[in-house]
Amino acid sequence: METVRWGIIGVGDVTERKSGPAFQQAERSELVAVMRRDAARAEDWARRHGVGRWYADADALIEDPEVDAVYVATPPDSHADYAVRVAAAGKPVYVEKPMARTTEECQAMVEAAERAGVPLFVAYYRRALPRFRAVAELLAAGRIGTPRSVLVRTQQPARTGGELPWRERPEVSGGGYFVDLGSHTLDLLDWLFGPVTRVSGSASSRADRDADRPGPRAEDLVTATFDLAGGVRGVGLWDFDAAEPLDLVEVVGDGGSLAFSCFGSEPLRLIEHGRLVERGRTVEIGTPHPATVQLPLVQSVVDELTGHGTCPSTGRTAIRTAQVVDAVLAGHREAEAARLAASA
């Protein structure tokens, strides 16, 4: 096809700035229809973004003959269902991250796409951002020597009061903020260094948090150690009940180190050592984000569909991240299941 005509299922918050406009801004791409179960909100989104058609029924959008490909932007509990239905209609699908709640659901999506002969893409958009392309280039150029280890620390203060967001409802999201945010970082490391070959970890949630809630509690403290195919060993801490926020990924090599945030836009911090470099020279490298952060990845999806390139984030790459998340959370999920069974 020369131009990809897109439809979006689930025009919620993420589609306002992060992703939705990308389908209108990318070359050889056009956004022609959107869907949300709340008809008034679907119509409002379409009007504000200049989209000609809107639906309150997903099947109507999927079956629209003028929709070539579909972006699924709903919460994770419906990703597998919608992706399978889009694939069955013979249309490529681009699904939000995390790909689904579990590896099992991800596998069903991959199999449906392969059975239908259509591509499946996943919105791990950091793989295409200029910021992380710069990280990859610095590593490939040997600026820190041979990478040996990586440290991940993600901290946020806990939510206080209010309605429980879907990202903290495991039956909807698959877990808590580790699933939502940690998956981004783990997928980025997969892209930078190769797949995780070994992982062990544990997760827990505060006993007094959401104690009266009938469903499973989301993890708020996660630790993990892992090995990557490129010979890099990693350690991670994700604490979502911390006093202070922190967003740090630090890669340590035998000739220096490279530190950066996964979710911010601060300059990369490169520390170089070696015979030809003053000891401990620090360089800060600015890497601003595009206004629409998913645009580079969406462009790569369009490029693949129109024969102009390939997309770095597919169902096959994303399922590896789901497997790592499942392995780390296995003990916590079992403990929560046992707790709920005992209280039934």
Q: What is the pLDDT of residue 215?
A: 85
Two tokens at 336? 């929560």
Q: Are 42 and 33 in contact (CB under 8 A)?
A: no
Tell me how crowded residue 213 is: count the other CB atoms within 10 A of its CB: 12
CA atoms within 13 A on the CB side of 261: 13
Q: What single-letter amino acid sits at 342?
A: A
Q: Which residues of 93-110 are buried (b: 16+ CB within 10 A; e: fewer)?
A: bbbbbbbbbbbebbbbbb
**pLDDT value, residue 211:** 67
Would you say 301 and 81 are in contact if contact means Cβ atoms under 8 Å apart? no
One pLDDT digit (tens) per residue for the chain, 344 residues:
899 999 999 999 999 999 999 999 999 999 999 999 999 999 999 999 999 999 999 999 999 999 999 999 999 999 999 999 999 999 999 999 999 999 999 999 999 999 999 999 999 999 999 999 999 999 999 999 999 999 999 999 998 777 889 999 999 999 999 999 999 999 999 999 999 999 999 999 987 776 677 889 999 999 999 999 989 999 999 999 999 999 999 999 999 999 999 999 999 999 987 544 455 578 999 999 999 999 999 999 999 999 999 999 999 999 999 999 999 999 999 999 999 898 87
The tokens for 292 are 């629409």
Give me the pLDDT at residue 1, please: 85
Map residue 198 onto helix, strand or coil: strand
Residue 275's pLDDT is 46
Distances from the Cα of 236 to the Cαs of 183, 190, 198, 199, 201, in angstroms? 12, 14, 14, 11, 9
| Predicted local confidence at residue 217, as pLDDT | 93
**Considering only CA atoms, which of 254, 252, 257, 201 is closest in space to residue 226?**
201
- Find out whether 258 and 250 touch, Cβ atoms under 8 Å: yes
CATH number of 127-289+323-343: 3.30.360.10
Does residue 213 contact residue 256 with C-beta atoms inside 8 Å? no
Domain with CATH 3.30.360.10 in the chain: 127-289+323-343
The residues of the chain that CATH labels 3.40.50.720 are 4-125+294-312
Both tokens of 303, joined, read: 């490029």
Domain 4-125+294-312 CATH class label:
alpha beta
Residue 102 vs residues 116, 200, 214, 288, 310: alpha-carbon distances, Å:
22, 17, 21, 33, 26
